[in-house]
A and B are shown apart, each in its own frame.
Chain A
Amino acid sequence: MEKIANFFKTFLLVELVKGMALTGRHFFARKITVQFPEEKTPQGFRFRGLHALRRYANDEERCIGCKLCEAVCPALAIHIETEERTDGTRRTTRYDIDLVKCIFCGLCEEACPVDAIVETRILEYHGEKRSDLYYTKPMLLAVGEKHEEQIAKDKALDAKYR
């Protein structure tokens, strides 16, 4: 029985018709192409883009230098040095993320006990040299300051799942 079916398929071009039907369906469907960068695709609030270091509302930096992000980072992209600040708290003297190494897994964000290191929705950044993608503490804090509103909103949306 199967042999007979195969025999007819050899000259009736059933596959061709099926393929053309699929093409035809998409030809008349609504287009989803986005004209990047003028247009943008929607992003979830958990989007993992460029990193940022956040501050509290009173301008105090959140990071307490616990180095959990450094320890958890599977790509060894984070480098932290700490010292005791004059007020007796531990603060970072260095907080570097090598974005060339980073795999944007988001584990640093997960590990952070004070929501200091976060991944923002920013994906449009670039570097002309490798060293441009080596983000230091002031750079990360600057990102955080610029986008704090968005970050806070996203964190609030995520909070109920935690």
Chain B
Amino acid sequence: MINIEIDGKHIEIESGCSVIDAADRLGIYIPRFCYHKKLSIAANCRMCLVQIEKAPKPLPACATPVAEGMKIFTASEQAVKAQKGVMEFLLINHPLDCPICDQGGECELQDLAVGYGGSTSRYNEEKRVVLHKDIGPLVAAEEMSRCINCTRCVRFGIEIGGAMELGQAFRGEHAEIMAFMSDTVDSELSGNMIDLCPVGALTSKPFRYSARTWELSRRKSISPHDSLGSNLAVQVKNNHVMRVLPIENEAVNECWLSDKDRFSYEGLNSAERLTKPMVKQNGKWLEVEWQVALEYVANGLRQIARETGAEYIGALATPHSTLEELYLLQKLVRGLGSNNVDFRLRQSDFSADSKQAGAPWLGMAVADINNVDRFLLVGSFLRKDHPLLASRVRQATKKGAQVNLIHAADDDLLMPLTNKKIVPPTEMTTVLAQVLKALAIVKQATLDTSVQQVVQSVMPSASAQAMADSLASGERVAILLGNFAQQHPQASQLQLLAQHIAALCGAKFGFFGEAANSVGGYLAQAVPFAGAEHGMNASAMLAAPRKAYILLNVEAELDTQNPQQAISAMNAADMVVALSAYKHHAAEYADVLLPIAPFTETSGTFVSSEGRTQSFKGTVQPLGEARPAWKVLRVLGNMLNISGFDYNNSEAVRDEVLGGADMSAKLGNVLHGMSAQTAIWNVAGLQRVSDVPIYTTDAIVRRAASLQKTRDAATPRALMHSVELKKLNLQSGEMVKLTQGHGSARLSIIADDSLPHGIVRVAAGHAATAELGAMFGDIMVNRA
């Protein structure tokens, strides 16, 4: 610890700290542009110059480490003169077009120019001009003359985003920021550059010129997309969501936001929003009053329960629904006498149901990911599925963590991988068993009988051995299963093997979790095995069609494991009630469309993958006659005379779900009473491997116009190893017909030699592939 003095105030601070950190801790503000607490020190803006006793010249506070007995003056004559001089230089080439700049009102340069600059400029010569650039549909770089070359965006790309997508080229007066890797910035975290930019050089394209910052009111909310539960500031004007910014929360999203969370708000104002309850009569949609629609639903459900039995009623919800909605949905269905309720729509293996200690979760706190020194990632498109968790893993690798990956596709995670094993999904269990065996040998441990048989039958490959060595050498090990592993047809086997690997190396073990409420769904008991009697899971409900379906936020052809099956089940049903914020494909198979409010228009709770319960309030009024889904379900419950549906607010529902119980008691990844099996499913020909592209994961992002213009949202293409292509006598880039069951899709096929043989990678969750069958399984490829 070192004692220093800033402006006469004493502070004791650890050595190695910079002067600016010390000043921030004392609450003394030193002006800065290039310094950012999450980025490396560049010291190129020179705004933070301060006077330090015994130093001949003013020194930059951000790049000067504290020393014992240092006396710092931030507002002395010398410091003020230096700051004023720097500000004058910065403004020489700045266009001062604040009235037409979107940053006006929240601009750091504007604020500091008022606080530290002169009132007039002495500069009358020509100003520098930097040409505008088009760097993609999200970030506007239309006025690069405003840039003060602080390089925050460049450093963000390198250090947080993982790739130097923006860089500074040329020197001196000619220095300018430009896209380095391609013409565009395609990072899934690119929106943060807008926040980082201290001037109006990088601004938000979707928000461009739609409002001024001072007109917006700021309301707190929680992201409904990925399982992180990012804290959002939803900015609202005239009951209209204008933009979304991050709220800093060190334990969750730090000060970042993924582009999905930031720009998905455009989907809230989509023209596809459903604003009136609708009932289909003789094949025609009629707009009706809520009362009529709800009575129709109640009568229909009652009739089906009476005539064919309640077990012919099924309810499906997405894991993007709130805790309250999921709880009331299962309560309604169970009140009718059915146990068929599920939210795990993309899962295909349910054999772990009721054998699990609790709700599957991350197994550790999100913030602890940064400190892990050995990772084993199993089946995860990490960067696209969990952009900010990927960034945390990346931070850990910067500190020397080793990352081992077992997956079916070799997407660039933009971080160094120590070992990776890219295998077809059928072999993933084998690889895990190999790692387990190698680890058992390294640790000289005897394995549990439940996995012994499987382990005996395998021989560890070199890469499995390397992974085992890597895991065994770590102190803080984490074994994390991704969405792909959860959707895998042998998900419970993967889980069991991972669990044993974790036990051997004392690792944290968990799931990244697919959506905002993947953990909450279990807590809300929206699973078929939560009650005394077990009902049908999502897959069984669609395989054996029900008479009636209640769909909460679900688009059957996009949100399910097997869209083909889902659509035929919907078509075969007597009654399909779709609670949805959007008019969509449901119009073809549904009988009733009930307009419900998306997350900005309702109160609710999400339980993130680390088990963090975050409640939020509505930020705007529901659009048209849309109503919060928990209210709709509550009224339906009353109409059906099911007891216990007298909630006054969503908090009452939440308290009933969570009670006062300790959250940690409800979470658990450990499987009991399962044994590992060697059997793999029958492999005949080509196998499909599916990812859910980042901007097709849920109904809101699918309608976010700007996100849909990004490269990540391009029409999916089928990917295949070039050897396999040659076998089929196909050329890369050719149009092919992909067939699964009775449905097919026409996509162009591209050679991708990073894929294992025997695999066709086709995205799920996209309209172009909605005719296809299961996300895993046999698929045929023919020339179109």
Contacts and interface: CB of A to CB of B under 8 A. Distances in A.
B479 to A, nearest CB: 49
Contacts of A114: 99
A90 B100 contact: yes
A64 B100 contact: yes
A83 B99 contact: no
B413 to A, nearest CB: 36
A84 B211 CA distance: 11
B99 A84 contact: no
Interface stretch (A65-73, A139-147, A153-161): A65-73
A127 to B, nearest CB: 26
A23 interface: no
Contact of B209 (A68, A71, A84, A113): A84
Contacts of B104: 66
A89 interface: yes
A68 B105 CA distance: 10
B142 A82 contact: no
A61 to B, nearest CB: 13
A67 B100 contact: no
B209 A82 contact: yes
Interface string A82-98: 11100011100000000
A90 B215 contact: no
A46 to B, nearest CB: 22
Interface residues of B, number: 12
A71 B100 contact: no
Interface string B141-169: 01000000000000000000000000000
Interface in A96-146: 113-114
Contacts of A68: 99
A85 B213 CA distance: 19
Contacts of B25: none
Contact of A88 (B142, B210, B211, B212): B142
A66 B209 contact: no
A67 B212 contact: yes
A153 to B, nearest CB: 25
> Interface residues of A toward B: which range?
10 to 19
B214 to A, nearest CB: 6
A66 B142 contact: no
A128 to B, nearest CB: 30
A126 to B, nearest CB: 31
Nearest to A112: B99
B104 to A, nearest CB: 7
Interface string B98-126: 11100010000000000000000000000
B208 interface: yes
Contacts of B209: 65, 82-84, 90
A71 B142 contact: no
Contacts of B142: 88
Contacts of A71: 212, 214
Contacts of A84: 208-210
Nearest to A65: B209
Given A89-B100, A113-B99, A66 B212 contact: yes
Nearest to B212: A67
Nearest to B142: A88
Contacts of A88: 142
B100 to A, nearest CB: 5
A81 B232 CA distance: 25
Q: Which of B98, B100, B208, B209 has the most CB of A within 10 A?
A: B209
A114 B100 CA distance: 11
B216 to A, nearest CB: 12
B210 A82 contact: yes
B484 to A, nearest CB: 40
A84 B206 CA distance: 11
A40 to B, nearest CB: 36
A89 B97 CA distance: 13
A85 to B, nearest CB: 9
B141 to A, nearest CB: 13
A64 to B, nearest CB: 5
A64 B99 contact: yes
Nearest to B208: A84
Nearest to A68: B99
Nearest to A114: B99
B100 A66 contact: yes
A21 to B, nearest CB: 55
A66 B210 contact: no
Q: Which of B99, B100, B104, B142 has the most CB of A within 10 A?
A: B99
A2 B534 CA distance: 111
A67 B210 CA distance: 11
A83 B210 contact: yes
Q: Which of A64, A84, A90 has the most CB of B within 10 A?
A: A90
A153 B209 CA distance: 33
Contacts of B100: 64, 66, 89-90
Contacts of B208: 84
A46 B100 CA distance: 27
A42 to B, nearest CB: 34
Contacts of B214: 71
Nearest to A90: B209
Contacts of B98: 66
A147 B229 CA distance: 58
A87 to B, nearest CB: 12
A63 to B, nearest CB: 10
Interface in B79-106: 98-100, 104
Nearest to A82: B209
A83 B211 CA distance: 8
Contacts of A113: 99
Nearest to A85: B209
Given A82-B211, A83-B210, 7 more contacts: A66-B98, A66-B212, A68-B99, A82-B209, A83-B209, A90-B100, A113-B99
13 contacts: A65-B209, A66-B100, A66-B104, A71-B212, A71-B214, A82-B209, A83-B209, A83-B210, A84-B208, A84-B209, A84-B210, A89-B100, A114-B99
Interface of A: 64-68, 71, 82-84, 88-90, 113-114
Please list the 3 inter-chain residue pairs (A to B) with the smallest Cβ-Cβ separation, ordered nearest first.
A66-B99, A90-B209, A113-B99
